[in-house]
């Protein structure tokens, strides 16, 4: 059983293709692993019957010679994706019991290609958080623990359920979303690979909206190649999302293992921040050395507005969120708490339905958009956003990609930062710039810290140039030879 | 920029979130802390910079003005807290 759950997606697809095992067998192996891992709280909805039914249909397709590129692969789905007839709550009390009558485009694409759904994965409420602690359904626990310690660590957020499930071998891969770092930071904290593609690569249709100009779906997996296979299926133009890009979807996996000789890789000096643990700096240096050995040319570059990305994000994202989340009014779906009149019903519904962090961001967003503050805050942040995007455009004149750390620390303990919003926000200091500029970014596991916890390196690429990231990512993966796995305690 | 309790009350009202009186002061402190940190944006020279609302450099696509779906009130109402005879039931809006 554990043999099947320990396979990479690629090896599993090969095994299914040569009939070493059936989709039903590998699906049931994963369902068993999920059942035994409830201590991680990674899944919020289990759909075992649906999974077995989808697996049997996959086996039938394969028997007829009609297998798709992901046929029979059991996956986990972040609870931000609407799945038809299956509860989709975005980690929020306000959507408890909500069963969409439609399927998101990204998940539809995965089922079109033959994948099997195991269940829905826990996450920070409305994807607002960096530790999974804002979920209405309780935090996910990281399968990794510090060497010799037994404290529960965060898997990161907001895609903490996706990250933990992939790391603990509860699924071959998972969908996730990234608005400010929600794929890459959890990937770094759990020793997994996560890529946020170019804004517009994956359709946002059917994904519960947080900040629409920043939200983007992407995969999490255990290898760079697996994430490439998943991204190809998830991507593609969708007329139902007006910001979906009508561009050809390349065979991303074909970029894995390609020579990176002669590629120019930029090292942005502004990412060397005060107080960064020396281990992370050392890992970054190691990453530079690996890429040099692989034949890359290393170039120091400057992204002068980096330090303003996070404060700009904390205007833009809450502003968009306050507008997007206005739809939760208790009238058409979700929670309703009755009041004496219409306004009171709205106010009580939203007070009870939203958690503290979501309310905080709605209040900030409402404040910065309110009369008298719009120009000073919102418009200012949009101008700073342009400056940040311009910094990258300057860098692309000199380099083909950038290499940075993914997060400023390894996984921290649950509860450690939950009382200080700004300290929590600083987790995304290296990842958020990419969302503001719309660029693709990938986190690759690169080593362990002194406590035995995984650390990741981030690669940033040009618009629609995920291919270069897959080549560089697999070069780092090969050099790092990262094989560590969490010791099973759950 | 310090946010006081009265401002929190006003913003919470705009956002249609009931916040009890005793929460207004702590929230004001929290939001002031965040806004003070955001204040560093004023250091950036943005004269003549065009605001960036999207990273996608394309105009909004147009589609044919035809009905593509609909006519399924049962589906539309399926997740509603209160319904009757094919309608949403909402609190009285006009006295």
Domain regions of chain B by residue span? 5-42
Degrees to nearest 5, angle at CA A14 with A9 and A20: 115
Q: How far apart (Å, rounded) are the C-alpha atoms in residues B95 and B88?
A: 18
Select the residue of A101, A307, A343 nearest B75 (Cβ to Cβ): A101
pLDDT at A275: 82
pLDDT at B1: 59
Beta bridge partners of B88: B83
The pLDDT tens digits of the residues spanning A174-183 come to 999 999 999 9
SS3 at position A125: helix
Contact between B15 and A362 using a beta-carbon 8 Å cutoff: yes
Burial (CB < 10 A; 0-12, 13-18, 19+), residue A417, is: buried
The residue ranges of DSSP E strands in A250-399, in sequence order, are 264-268, 297-301
Q: How far apart (Å, rounded) are the C-alpha atoms in residues A157 and A142?
A: 11
Listed by number, the residues of chain A in 363-422 with a beta carbon closer than 8 Å to a beta carbon of chain B are 363-364, 366-367, 370, 377, 379-387, 389, 421-422
pLDDT at A79: 98
The answer to whether the beta carbons of residues A427 and A178 sit under 8 Å apart is no
Beta bridge partners of A207: A81
Q: How far apart (Å, rounded) are the C-alpha atoms in residues A144 and A150?
A: 10
Burial (CB < 10 A; 0-12, 13-18, 19+), residue A445, is: buried
Q: Which two tokens stand for residue A138?
A: 């309780």
Q: How far apart (Å, rounded) are the C-alpha atoms in residues A96 and A83?
A: 14
The H or E element that residue A45 is part of is: strand A43-46
Using left for φ > 0, alpha for ψ between -120 and 50, and beta otherwise, residue A349 falls in: alpha
Degrees to nearest 5, angle at CA A359 with A357 and A365: 105
Contact between A363 and B15 using a beta-carbon 8 Å cutoff: yes
Active site (annotated) includes residue A182: yes
Query: What is the CATH class of A2-258?
Result: alpha beta
Contact between B31 and A364 using a beta-carbon 8 Å cutoff: yes
Q: How far apart (Å, rounded) are the C-alpha atoms in residues A451 and A369?
A: 44
Q: How far apart (Å, rounded) are the C-alpha atoms in residues A13 and B5?
A: 58
Mutation target to probe the A interface, by most A beta carbons within 10 A, among B31, B44, B70 is: B44
Active site (annotated) includes residue A108: no
Distance (Å) from the C-alpha of residue B87 to the closest C-alpha of chain A?
10
pLDDT at A215: 98
Q: How far apart (Å, rounded) are the C-alpha atoms in residues A183 and A216?
A: 10
What is the overall mean pLDDT for chain A? 97
Contact between B82 and A336 using a beta-carbon 8 Å cutoff: yes
pLDDT per residue as tens, chain A (490 positions)? 458 999 999 999 999 999 999 999 999 999 999 999 999 999 999 999 999 999 999 999 999 999 999 999 999 999 999 999 999 999 999 999 999 999 999 999 999 999 999 999 999 999 999 999 999 999 999 999 999 999 999 999 999 999 999 999 999 999 999 999 999 999 999 999 999 999 999 999 999 999 999 999 999 999 999 999 999 999 999 999 999 999 999 999 999 999 999 999 999 999 998 888 899 999 999 999 999 999 999 999 999 999 999 999 999 999 999 999 999 999 999 999 999 999 999 999 999 999 999 999 999 999 999 989 999 999 999 999 999 999 999 999 999 999 999 999 999 999 998 888 888 898 899 999 999 999 999 999 999 999 999 999 999 999 999 999 999 999 999 999 999 999 999 9
Query: Which residue has 């700004």 as its token pair?
Result: A422
Contact between B92 and A342 using a beta-carbon 8 Å cutoff: yes
**Residues with Cβ < 8 Å from A372, sequence gap 6 or more?**
none
Select the residue of B33, B55, B63 nearest A239 (Cβ to Cβ): B63
Residues from chain A contacting residue B53 (CB–CB below 8 Å): 213, 382
Cα–Cα nearest to A344, from A354, A329, A333, A359: A329
pLDDT at residue B95 tops 80 = no
Q: Which two tokens stand for residue A305?
A: 């507005």
Cα torsion A280, A282, A286, A287: sign: positive
Cα–Cα nearest to A173, from A13, A55, A41: A13
Active site (annotated) includes residue A418: no
**Residues with Cβ < 8 Å from A376, sequence gap 6 or more?**
none
Contact between A331 and B90 using a beta-carbon 8 Å cutoff: yes
Select the residue of A239, A341, A383 nearest B49 (Cβ to Cβ): A383
pLDDT at B54: 87
In the sheet where A74-78 sits, what is the strand order? A43-46, A116-121, A74-78, A173-178, A216-221, A193-196, A441-448, A454-461, A401-405, A264-268, A297-301
Other C-beta atoms lying within 10 Å of the C-beta of residue B75: 13
Residues from chain A contacting residue B18 (CB–CB below 8 Å): 344, 347-348, 350-351
SS3 at position A90: coil
């Amino acid at each position: 059983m554990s043999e099947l759950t320990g396979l990479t997606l690629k090896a599993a697809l090969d095994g299914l293709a040569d009939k070493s095992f059936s989709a039903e067998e590998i699906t049931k192996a994963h369902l068993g692993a999920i059942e035994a891992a409830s201590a991680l709280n990674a899944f919020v909805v289990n759909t075992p019957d649906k999974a077995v039914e989808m697996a049997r249909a996959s086996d039938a397709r394969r028997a007829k010679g009609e297998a798709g590129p992901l046929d029979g692969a059991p996956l986990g789905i972040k609870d931000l994706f609407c799945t038809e007839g299956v509860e989709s709550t975005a980690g929020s009390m306000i959507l408890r019991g909500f069963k969409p009558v439609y399927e998101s485009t990204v998940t539809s694409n995965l089922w079109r290609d033959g994948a099997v759904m195991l269940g829905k994965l826990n996450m920070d409420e409305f994807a607002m958080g960096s530790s999974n602690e804002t979920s209405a359904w309780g935090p996910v626990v990281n399968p990794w623990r510090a060497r010799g310690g037994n404290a529960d660590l965060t898997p990161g957020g907001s895609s903490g359920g996706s990250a933990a499930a992939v790391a603990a071998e509860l699924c071959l891969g998972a969908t996730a979303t990234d608005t400010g770092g929600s794929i890459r930071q959890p990937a770094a904290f759990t020793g997994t690979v996560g890529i946020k593609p170019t804004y517009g690569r994956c359709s946002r249709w059917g994904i519960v909206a947080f900040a629409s100009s920043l939200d983007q779906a992407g995969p999490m997996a255990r290898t760079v190649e697996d994430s490439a296979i998943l991204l190809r299926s998830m991507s593609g133009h969708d007329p139902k999302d007006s910001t979906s890009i009508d561009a050809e979807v390349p065979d991303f996996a074909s970029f894995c293992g390609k020579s990176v000789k002669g590629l120019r890789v930029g090292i942005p000096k502004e990412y060397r921040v005060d107080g960064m643990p020396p281990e992370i700096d050392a890992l970054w240096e190691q990453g530079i050395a690996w890429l040099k050995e692989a034949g890359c040319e290393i170039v120091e570059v400057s992204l002068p507005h980096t330090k303003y990305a996070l404060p700009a994000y904390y205007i833009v994202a809450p502003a968009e969120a306050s507008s997007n989340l206005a739809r939760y009014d208790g009238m058409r779906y979700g929670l309703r708490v009755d009041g004496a009149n219409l306004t009171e019903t709205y106010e009580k519904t939203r007070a009870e339905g939203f958690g503290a962090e979501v309310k905080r961001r709605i209040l900030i967003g409402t404040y910065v958009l309110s009369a008298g503050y719009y120009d000073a805050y919102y418009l200012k942040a949009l101008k700073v956003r342009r400056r940040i995007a311009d910094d990258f455009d300057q860098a692309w004149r000199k380099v083909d990609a950038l290499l940075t750390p993914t997060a400023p620390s390894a996984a921290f303990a649950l509860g450690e930062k939950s009382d200080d919003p700004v300290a929590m926000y600083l987790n995304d200091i290296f990842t958020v710039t990419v969302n503001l500029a719309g660029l693709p970014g990938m986190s690759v596991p690169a080593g362990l810290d002194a406590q035995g916890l995984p650390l990741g390196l981030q690669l940033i690429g040009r618009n629609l140039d995920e291919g270069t990231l897959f080549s560089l990512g697999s070069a780092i993966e090969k050099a790092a030879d990262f094989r560590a796995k969490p010791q099973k305690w759950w | 920029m310090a946010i006081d309790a009265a401002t929190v009350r006003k913003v919470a009202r705009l956002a249609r979130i009931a916040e009890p009186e005793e929460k207004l002061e702590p929230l004001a402190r929290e939001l002031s802390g965040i806004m003070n940190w955001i204040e560093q944006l004023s250091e950036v020279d943005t004269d003549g910079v065009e605001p960036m609302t999207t990273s996608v450099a394309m105009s909004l696509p147009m589609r044919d003005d035809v009905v593509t779906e609909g006519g399924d009130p049962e589906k539309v109402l399926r997740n509603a807290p209160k319904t009757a005879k094919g309608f949403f039931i909402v609190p009285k809006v006009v006295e």
